Structure 1
Amino acid sequence: MIVALDHVQLAAPAGSEDVLRAFYAGVLGMTELPKPPVLAARGGCWFASGGAVLHLGVEADFRPAKKAHPGLVVSDVDTLAERLGAAGHPVLWDDNLPGVRRFHSEDPVGNRLEFQAQA
């Protein structure tokens, strides 16, 4: 009886919190959420914007997600693509889903992200 998606968790290497903050808060404009103290001790960080919540958790044997990814709906897909490109992140447009303007990119630790225009 699922009624909503609470968050998506992505893995990150230990010690990557500063680059994650620079990307998710700085480049994407998301707000960092405080983690409960018990969870904060494990490292990582949480971010939210609109209804999207991403948890970046430290994984000892980290390997970036190259196929699995969150699909994030954005209000201005072209401006975000320009911002990501200017910050040195890949912007790979994908027209394989008819009627959806979207592209893929990567966060600073290599996790795949999809951004699509708001309908």
Structure 2
Amino acid sequence: MAKRGGIWLQCGAHQLHIGIQEDFIPANKAHPAFNVENLEALRRQVIDQGIKVKEDEPLESAKRWISKFLIS
């Protein structure tokens, strides 16, 4: 996918494919989201890698945070 401008990530059995579409118009709140078993452990790993984390508005029965980073 990289030669077409996209990215393909895999962690164990989980895969995330993000492609590029020239005429794509995103929704205002479009983003990938993941349901994880230990969100706090993942949050700590992200912070330990130097990636900033921002707390987000809570949803009913869900804890969440936002992290923006670039993959090169």
Shared fold per TM-score greater than 0.5:
yes
Normalised TM-score (structure 2): 0.61
Mind listing any 5+ residue stretches in structure 2 that lack a counterpart? 23-27
Alignment coverage as a number of residue pairs: 66
Aligned-residue CA RMSD (Å): 2.9
Do 1:52 and 1:72's aligned partners in 2 also have CA atoms closer than 8 Å? no
More strand by share: 1
Percent of pairs with identical residues: 32
- Higher relative CO (Cα under 8 Å, sequence separation at least 6) belongs to 1
- Partner Cα separation in structure 2 for residue 43 and residue 68 of structure 1: 19
The question of 1:92 aligning with 2:54 is answered yes
Q: Please show how residues 12-91 of structure 1 align to structure 2 within 5 Å.
A: 39=1, 41-49=3-11, 52-57=14-19, 67-91=29-53
Mind listing any 5+ residue stretches in structure 1 that lack a counterpart? 1-38, 61-65, 110-119
Normalised TM-score (structure 1): 0.42
